[in-house]
Amino acid sequence: MATDKGEYSFSTCWNIKRHQTGSSMIREIKELGFRRVELNYNVTEELLATIEPMIASGEIGVSSVHNTFPHVSDPDYGTDSVLLGFEDEEKRSRSIALLNRSLDYADRYGAEAVVVHPGEVPFEDNIDARLKKLYREEGKDSAAYQSLWREMLDRREQLSPLYVRRISESLEQVCEYAAAKGYKLAIGIETRSRCYQMPTPREAKTIIDGLKGAPVHLWYDFGHAMMMDRMGLYDSVKDARELKEYIYGIHIHETVGLSDHYCPYVHSGTDVFDDYLDIVRDAPLKVYELKASCLPEEIEESHRLLQQKLAGLGEVAR
């Protein structure tokens, strides 16, 4: 029997590919003990047709929606794109309009936040995939990895300020839209899973500081941050702690090697996730974001271990 997961929410990314109707997808999540869900970017209008009555009746709560929402099939406006940083003004305007639409849905469903992948420094090919292949086959310290990493980093560092500025300008327009509508929503810009994607925690700080008073926050995705740490982009633990006040929401999952969305503690067989316990404890919005292969009993055990660890953290603090 699954325990009540209380304040924790759960992303539909876990089971969306197994269901033809939204209601069956939500009921399977409810069976895990979750009262709230994050509706992810693959949720279609067809799935929403049977989810919306459940929201309206109070059968399920919505903690957050994940831009672009509902699902948009055009990859230009998907989760791995330049999106809010497009140089093309027409494309950027379309990206802003789609994020505004995500806010509309979030407000309608009584959600707290919208999760956003704001953009990336574009490359001609997926240099992240090439780097990860080298990491696995030759190691991070190999000459081949280090050479390609430097190539990636040089371009990323050169162009990052330009894309930070464009993303900031786009988010400013979105915040103006939200204010005009009277929305009380957090906009969470999420740490990403590819080394050329934005933002790093430090880039997020720059964006948020530049939008002082706006409802833009850092959304800390632990699995993504762990991967970027291992690849060499930033120190995921140090940055999370130093920027804790910027964090509104978190995606809870763990990385095994350079593969993510595993159950913390259960799949890695280590206590590495202990480093993030204070971030979990203090984050206003906590969402599990797990892969389809995670079994219900593994999710239950992972949550039990996490709660046990958090309880111990409280005892240490006292």
Residue from 257, 50, 23 nearest 135 by CA: 257
The Cα 190–Cα 228 span in angstroms is 13
The Cα 71–Cα 51 span in angstroms is 14
The Cα 74–Cα 312 span in angstroms is 46
CB 218 within 8 A of CB 204: yes
Task: Report the share of the chain in percent with pLDDT over 90.
Answer: 97
Number of alpha helices (DSSP H) and beta strands (DSSP E) in the chain: 10, 12
Is residue 2 domain-resident? no
What's the confidence (pLDDT) of residue 314? Answer: 65
Count of domains forming the chain = 1
Residue from 220, 185, 46 nearest 105 by CA: 185
Structural domain including 272 reads 9-317
Is residue 160 domain-resident? yes
**Spans of the chain below 70 pLDDT:** 314-318
What's the confidence (pLDDT) of residue 316? Answer: 45
Is residue 3 domain-resident? no
Hey, is 270 helix, strand or coil? coil
Is residue 295 domain-resident? yes
Q: Where are the beta strands (DSSP E) in the chain?
A: 9-11, 36-39, 61-66, 113-116, 119-120, 186-190, 197-198, 216-221, 247-252, 254-256, 259-262, 285-288
Is residue 4 domain-resident? no
What's the confidence (pLDDT) of residue 317? Answer: 40
What's the confidence (pLDDT) of residue 318? Answer: 29
CATH number at residue 251: 3.20.20.150
pLDDT digits (tens, 9 = 90+) for 168-193: 999 999 999 999 999 999 999 999 99
- Burial bucket for residue 313 (CB in 10 Å: 0-12, 13-18, 19+): middle
Is residue 205 domain-resident? yes
The residues that bridge with 37 in the sheet, in sequence order, are 10, 62
What's the confidence (pLDDT) of residue 305? Answer: 97
Is residue 1 domain-resident? no
Is residue 44 domain-resident? yes
How many CB atoms lie under 10 A from the CB of residue 215?
Answer: 19
